[in-house]
Amino acid sequence: MTLPDTPGVDLDLATAAAGPKGTRSLRARGSPLAVPAAQRRLLETLPLPVGDFGAALGQCGWSELKPVPVEIFQINVGRLCNMTCRHCHVDAGPDRVVENMDRETVDLCLAALDRTAAHTVDITGGAPELNPHFRYLVDESLARGKHVLDRCNLTILLLPRYADLPEWLDERGVEVVCSLPHYRRLNTDAQRGDGTFERSIEALRRLNAAGYGRGDPRRRLTLVSNPAGAFLPGSQASLERDWKAGLARHHGVTFDRLFTLANMPINRFLDWLVESGNLQEYMERLVGTFNPSAVPGLMCRNTISVGWDGTLHDCDFNQMLELPVEAPRGRRPHVREFDPVWLEARRIRTARHCFGCTAGAGSSCGGATT
């Protein structure tokens, strides 16, 4: 199947991984929660004892959340994905063909990147490799001396058009950050769809064969795990030990490090929380395990997140809730108007979903924060 609105993208749905039974994007289902404002409203109206994130910050001495200079330039190139995972915070899927960054916006991102001292370009999606400008963006970022992360869902590496990616990424020293909910089949397939685990293991074998995940810092392979239910992740260090042992023993694959992330109560995970009757309890858990020591390491402090249409956000989660950065009067929160000075002076926008980043050991795109 060729996606008509996305030149150069040829997504073979016959070989794409199926989502969990019955899972389609909220958009495809016509769900009321497909509208970000409806998600924000739902969270804001829940009866919670300490429901205001700003107040929780204030109680531990943060009168407002301010950024530090940008270190990580995160670019979400689109919502298109070959999978439809149940917990997806992006509401990505094969139907999200329109929201895909065009070349002009990619070039605006590169021009903005040149105005920062960011050391890392973090490329995410959807499945970012499906964007027709993905390889151009990688090469241009590397040409600027940046460390590049590809947030990869693993199964994309098995689609014929993308089968050369392990070697292509390896030649360039791109870090591959791969989502894999669990090292056991049952948990992974429950969250991502039948057959995902087998495909993911095969993709990991291909990455290992290309030199990834064997301790070479130039070929770093990071796995990312989200809990498969309405609970917080366990200890990142001990899970990493279990995963390394489990994947090596049962499947002969290796990786370098594991990030554990809490599921954010937005998009499809929010929908699942509502459907399963877990929303209230989960939000109470996030609020009840608020950890002040996670605040300094919040990723919104050292990251800027650019959406597929060039809109600037404090983080990928705010992006999904359509909460752009606060811009000075007369300025648009768009990468075309990127200005490190006003960005560093801004106040980070927070709301109740932010409790997902400060619960327990803290959570960010770089794993636990404490």
Binding site for ligand SF4 (CB under 6 A): 81, 83-85, 88, 90, 92-93, 125-127, 153, 179, 298-300, 314-315, 317-318, 348, 350, 353-354, 357
Cβ closer to ligand SF4: 3 or 88? 88
Cβ closer to ligand SF4: 110 or 325? 325
Cβ closer to ligand SF4: 153 or 188? 153
- The pair of three-digit structure tokens given for residue 38, joined into one six-digit string: 């409806």
Residue indicated by tokens 């929201």: 99
CB of 31 to ligand SF4, least distance (A): 15
CB of 321 to ligand SF4, least distance (A): 8
CB of 247 to ligand SF4, least distance (A): 19
Cβ closer to ligand SF4: 65 or 110? 65
Could you give the CA distance from residue 173 to residue 89 in angstroms, rounded to a whole number? 28
**In a 3-state reduction of DSSP, which class is residue 161?**
helix
Could you give the CA distance from residue 174 to residue 280 in angstroms, rounded to a whole number? 40
CB of 188 to ligand SF4, least distance (A): 11
Distance of CA 231 to the CA centre of its chain: 19
214, 208 contact by CB (below 8 A): yes
**In a 3-state reduction of DSSP, which class is residue 270?**
helix
CB of 250 to ligand SF4, least distance (A): 23
Other CB atoms closer than 10 Å to residue 160's CB: what's the count? 9
Taking each helix axis from N to C terminus, what angle separates 196-209 and 185-192, rounded to the nearest 10 degrees?
A: 110
Cβ closer to ligand SF4: 212 or 317? 317
